[in-house]
Structure 1
Amino acid sequence: MHPYSLLTAAVVALALPAVAPAADPKPFPGQPTKWQGFARHDFRVGGLDATVVVPDAPLPGRPWAWRGEFFGAFADCDVALVKAGWHLAYLKVPDLFGSPKAVKHWEGFHAEMVKEYGMHPKPGLIGLSRGGLYCMNWAAAHPDRTLAVYLDNAVCDFKSWPGGQPKKLGTGKGSEGEWKKLLAAHDFKSDAEAVAYKLNPVDNLAPLAKAKVPLLLVYGDRDTVVPHAENSELVYDRYKALGGPVERVVKPGQDHHPHGLKDVAPVVKFFTAALEPKK
């Protein structure tokens, strides 16, 4: 087992940060380039590649959306959030599958973003495909540092993917090669140890539900890679039973691709509502 160790200035007071934001934020390092017309900064944090996209008019409290994986892929909602005043961030930790190693790297990045650059203590998380493992495992380990989680055809149980049919652990296509990487990322010594693991997102929702972290699930009901019944739908049913705030948008007949929604307004509305003062 590996335990895991719009929008006013008043919004900032709602958060009870575990890490205090910088009083005088530093500018992001690196010569800015352009991403979708916005300033993009690429720099290193803890020896890893990081990316931050800066909105033209940042919202009060400097909220940010944190992409779990695949920066720039199916990024309509990311672009819409930046247009709405959110910063967008990404830390490159591929092939770690949201393991405790990945969460540790995320902790360092989160501390840097908040302490040095004055970002909101609670980022909104975007978990696309395997990025769901990163986002949900971070949220379970740090519900006090999570604003809300948007999951898009997300992996919520690694037995389903990359396990799936090759390992007789799910109905999806799975991947033998990615399964081997997963074992290494978690330091599992055998398939049996991986199967016995109890901290997959589908099994570790209680910390999020207790903290009332909002979830938005968008998924196709014909996903042959990350089957919804083993991932998003299971999370929806279990989270609802736990009393956690959860919404979903089901795409009838849709496979794993394309990700996202044609109209991303529900995603922007979801994150905006998470920022608003609770009545």
Structure 2
Amino acid sequence: MRLLAPFLLLLLLPWSGTAADFPGETSTWNGYVRHDFVFEGHEAIVVVPDQPAPGRPWLWRARFWGHAPESDVLLLERGFHIAYCDVADLFGSPTAVERWNHFYTAMTRDYGLAPKVALKGLSRGGLIIYNWAKANPDKVSCIYGDAPVCDLRSWPGSRRDLPRWQVVLDLYGLSEDEIDTAPVSPIHGLKPLAAAGVPLLHVVGDRDETVPVADNTAVLAARYRALGGSITIIHKPDVAHHPHGLEDSTPIVDFILAHTPAPDAARP
């Protein structure tokens, strides 16, 4: 059989649209084209690389858009799209998961992004990245949690007098007594992720009193490893909840790149 001509090989690569394919107002973010638009009534953002990598890989950020962006910028340099869909004050609830389901469908079906996405969650962003990933393990390439909330009972549950705690109870449809045993936090129901072989990376400050490592990352890590899952933890010994990220984001970027499927493996 004759070898396919180079241009035919290019045609066999996944669709690679341009920045114009995304809706909304455009601006510049760290030197790249940013699209701000409304998705089903909620804020959404997509930042487009100058040259999308084959397969159109993407990083999906949760909460606190623009904070600790160093790894995002490095991934843009390597051809990743960076996406965001607002689920603020939904605390990883079923409502948040459903909204993310719709956004994922739009990003992959309508805009041609890769079917497997890398997830990034800072602090309370850990709630949605894990609860969405557990509901969609086949759609996740890897998870990067930075000082992530892994147990609602730790945050905001440790401050049950705050108005947001009642919001949590209402969103999950649980009583004060029920939420203490309900399996609704990232530390629960990890088996689908482990079975799918989704690798995890957590960056944590050992002096974090807002989201204590012992009550969050340590519990999740022990349970995930017991299920056969892989998790890497980078400890920052003298750091509290802030600052997020690392002085050198290379380990974060290398982790995501190492677990990004090749184009032919990424699409059915």
Q: TM-score by structure 1 length? A: 0.85
CA distance in 2, matches of 1:186, 1:208: 22
CA distance in 2, matches of 1:266, 1:109: 28
Among all aligned residue pairs of Structure 1 and Structure 2, give the percentage whose two residues are the same amino acid. Answer: 46
The match for 1:184 among 148, 170, 176 is 170
The match for 1:247 among 221, 232, 235 is 232
Q: Describe the shift of the 1:128–1:199 C-alpha distance in structure 2 as closer, same or farther (beyond 3 A).
A: same
CA distance in 1, matches of 2:170, 2:62: 19
- Confirm or deny: 8 A CA contact 2:25 2:37 kept in the other structure: no
- Confirm or deny: 8 A CA contact 1:22 1:114 kept in the other structure: no
Q: CA deviation at 1:89?
A: 0.4
For 1:172, the equivalent position in structure 2 comes to none
- Confirm or deny: 8 A CA contact 1:95 1:185 kept in the other structure: no
For 2:155, the equivalent position in structure 1 comes to 161
User: Are 2:125 and 1:125 aligned?
Assistant: no
Correspondences of 1:36-185 after superposition (within 5 Å): 36-164=30-158, 166-167=159-160, 176-185=162-171
- Confirm or deny: 8 A CA contact 1:150 1:216 kept in the other structure: yes
Q: CA deviation at 1:140?
A: 0.4
CA distance in 2, matches of 1:38, 1:100: 33
Q: CA deviation at 1:178?
A: 2.3
CA distance in 2, matches of 1:143, 1:239: 14
- Confirm or deny: 8 A CA contact 2:16 2:56 kept in the other structure: no
Q: CA-to-partner distance for each residue in 1:2-56, whole Å, 9 max, x for gaps?
A: xxxxxxx9xx99xxxxxxx878787001231011111000112222211000011
Q: Describe the shift of the 1:116–1:276 C-alpha distance in structure 2 as closer, same or farther (beyond 3 A).
A: closer
For 2:249, the equivalent position in structure 1 comes to 264
| Matched AA of 1:246 | I
CA distance in 2, matches of 1:245, 1:268: 17
| Matched AA of 1:179 | W
Q: Secondary structure at the match of 2:154?
A: helix
Q: CA deviation at 1:107?
A: 0.5
Q: Secondary structure at the match of 1:137?
A: helix
Q: Secondary structure at the match of 1:201?
A: coil
Q: CA deviation at 1:81?
A: 1.3
For 2:259, the equivalent position in structure 1 comes to 274
Aligned-residue RMSD, C-alpha: 2.2
- Confirm or deny: 8 A CA contact 1:22 1:116 kept in the other structure: no
| Matched AA of 1:247 | T
Q: CA-to-partner distance for each residue in 1:120-152, whole Å, 9 max, x for gaps?
A: 011100010000000000110000111110000
| Matched AA of 1:240 | R
Give structure 2 stretches of 5+ with no counterpart: 1-8
CA distance in 2, matches of 1:178, 1:33: 33
Q: Secondary structure at the match of 1:160?
A: coil
| Matched AA of 1:244 | G
Correspondences of 1:229-240 after superposition (within 5 Å): 229-240=214-225
For 1:5, the equivalent position in structure 2 comes to none
Give structure 1 stretches of 5+ with no counterpart: 1-8, 14-20, 168-174
Q: TM-score by structure 2 length? A: 0.89
